[in-house]
Structure 1
Amino acid sequence: MTEVTIQAADGGAFMAYVAKPATLPAPAVVVIQEIFGVNAVMRGIADDLARQGYLAVCPDLFWRIEPGVDITDKTQEEWNKAFALLQKFDVDKGVGDLKSTADWCRQQTECNARVGTVGYCLGGKMAFLMASRSDVDANVSYYGVGLVDLVGEVPNIKKPLLMHVAELDKFVAPEARDTVLEAVAANPKVTAHVYEGMDHAFARKGGDHFDAAASELANGRTADFFREHLS
């Protein structure tokens, strides 16, 4: 486990946490952060992916606002900071940074040139956008937010996208959820699973809405998806 510096396409550079598998070269998975930065939860996900055989890279998407954000969901002060960062976040530049991260992965001798993404919350939105705006091989979105405003992007999804949708997501109105599900159903490259009774971040270990059974089911589907499309 280490940190690397990646050059942004529009100038500047940002940090990324890297976890390496035992066997290299390997497919790479870009882990896309929640609104709490590259924190222990995100690093843990990267470590888990490395144990599954992937070169896992988690870039700092908030670097233009405040480099090195590493907070939790445990205090109101941290939530306030996270939402303030989200308000300042430039989604389009974030997509650019994720593309730069994918390019960096492909340039490494430790990568076999296959690259996927997996994102959570804000990262789930960004994984959805990587599916529509990039050429990475496979993308996974966990309870993405703000997707109802992006349904026009669905026809542009040409590579496989797996979506994990919380039925009772407190950040996604039921009408918005159903609009997104209807839109992606028209694209055969998209597979969406709805987790009944689940709230936002049901797969975040230690979170208020963590559900072990739903998390295990979603993570198993993600593992199968990556094996199919990144091997």
Structure 2
Amino acid sequence: MTSTSPDAILAETVTITGHGGDQIEAYLARPLAPGSRGGIVWIHHMPGYDRETKEFVRRLAVAGYHAVCPNLYSREAPGADPDDASATVRAAGGVPDDRLVGDVAGAADYLRGLEGANGKIGVIGHCSGGRQAFLAACSLDLDAAVDCYGAFVVEDHVEGMPKVMQPILDLAPNLSGPLLGLFGKEDRYPNPDAVAKLDAELTRLGKQHEFHSYDGAGHSFFSPDRPAYRVDAALDGWHQIYDFFGKHLAG
């Protein structure tokens, strides 16, 4: 007699319906063991739909969630190397906010349709995906959101960044669910002043949120392949993510 290990997963490339009815590529990971499960949309960082992000998606599946990452660059650069796709999209000005929201909505619908889905949906993103996770949570009815060092929620556009990276703090009154923010105190975008401004605005609005800012950590501290990786900050950050989604997406 055999049984399925609780950490056994299936990971595969799928096609989902995104903004405007477009068929886009996405990376799905889900547990093989039966159970009632929340779903999580992971929004990839500006470097693209890469190996690192897919590892994050698999990690969420091992933790017991249905998780999917839409390839936000699949229209401009289908099948391209992540670095080439990112350069193409950056040159075009970035992913438009309305298209991002539509793609996340499509990913959420896909997750709700999986066997064992409990209907609860969270969103998480790192780098530009952190900003986009906040955007999605202010634009869609979601149960939880995690912003991993998302810049330009508060700050004005900076020369050299994609033109779509404009502040979206004015959307804060529409935040649909609790928000977890994970930031580095040595980060430039967002810097501690920007994080404090977002914290203050959410507090003023009475929006449920919790922020954690780490000493000695800058941007990309979750990224193990980058010099910016900070073990202590990343380990605690993952603990906060598991605890947060466990509270808000449980079956």
Q: Which has the higher helix share?
A: 1
State the number of aligned residues. Answer: 226
Change (3 A) 1:201 1:53: same
Q: Report if the CA contact (8 A) 1:39-1:69 is conserved.
A: no
1:16-165 superposed matches below 5 A? 16-24=26-34, 25-71=36-82, 81=87, 84=90, 87-148=93-154, 149-165=167-183
2:23 to 13, 20, 31: 13
Could you give the per-residue CA deviations for residues 180-209 of structure 1, whole angstroms, max 9, x where no partner exists?
232223233121122223100111111121
Give the drift of 1:174: 4.6
Change (3 A) 1:26 1:68: farther
CA distance, structure 1, for counterparts of residue 82 and residue 54 of structure 2? 12
Q: Which has the larger radius of gyration?
A: 2
Q: Report if the CA contact (8 A) 2:18-2:105 is conserved.
A: no
Alignment TM-score, normalising by the size of structure 1: 0.89
Q: Report if the CA contact (8 A) 1:46-1:58 is conserved.
A: yes
Change (3 A) 1:69 1:144: farther
1:206-221 superposed matches below 5 A? 206-221=225-240
AA at the equivalent of 2:126: Y
Q: Report if the CA contact (8 A) 2:73-2:85 is conserved.
A: no
CA distance, structure 2, for counterparts of residue 69 and residue 118 of structure 1? 24
CA distance, structure 2, for counterparts of residue 98 and residue 121 of structure 1? 16
Give the drift of 1:119: 0.6
2:223 to 200, 204, 209: 204
CA distance, structure 1, for counterparts of residue 91 and residue 41 of structure 2? 21
Give the drift of 1:145: 1.4
AA at the equivalent of 2:247: E
Alignment TM-score, normalising by the size of structure 2: 0.83
Change (3 A) 1:211 1:83: farther
What SS does the corresponding residue of 2:21 show, helix, strand or coil?
coil
Q: Report if the CA contact (8 A) 1:26-1:112 is conserved.
A: yes
Could you give the per-residue CA deviations for residues 131-163 of structure 1, whole angstroms, max 9, x where no partner exists?
211112111110001110111111111311111
Is 118-127 or 103-112 further displaced after alignment?
A: 103-112
Can you give the 5+ residue segments of structure 2 that lack an aligned partner in the other structure?
A: 1-10, 155-166
Q: Report if the CA contact (8 A) 2:137-2:177 is conserved.
A: yes
Residue of structure 2 in register with 1:168 after alignment? 186
Change (3 A) 1:69 1:200: farther
Give the drift of 1:170: 2.7
Q: Report if the CA contact (8 A) 1:140-1:222 is conserved.
A: yes
Task: Give every structure 1 segment of 4 or more consecutive aligned residues whose post-TM-superposition deviation is greater than 4 Å.
Answer: none
AA at the equivalent of 2:153: L
Q: Report if the CA contact (8 A) 1:38-1:69 is conserved.
A: no
CA distance, structure 1, for counterparts of residue 237 and residue 81 of structure 2? 25
Can you give the 5+ residue segments of structure 1 that lack an aligned partner in the other structure?
A: 73-77
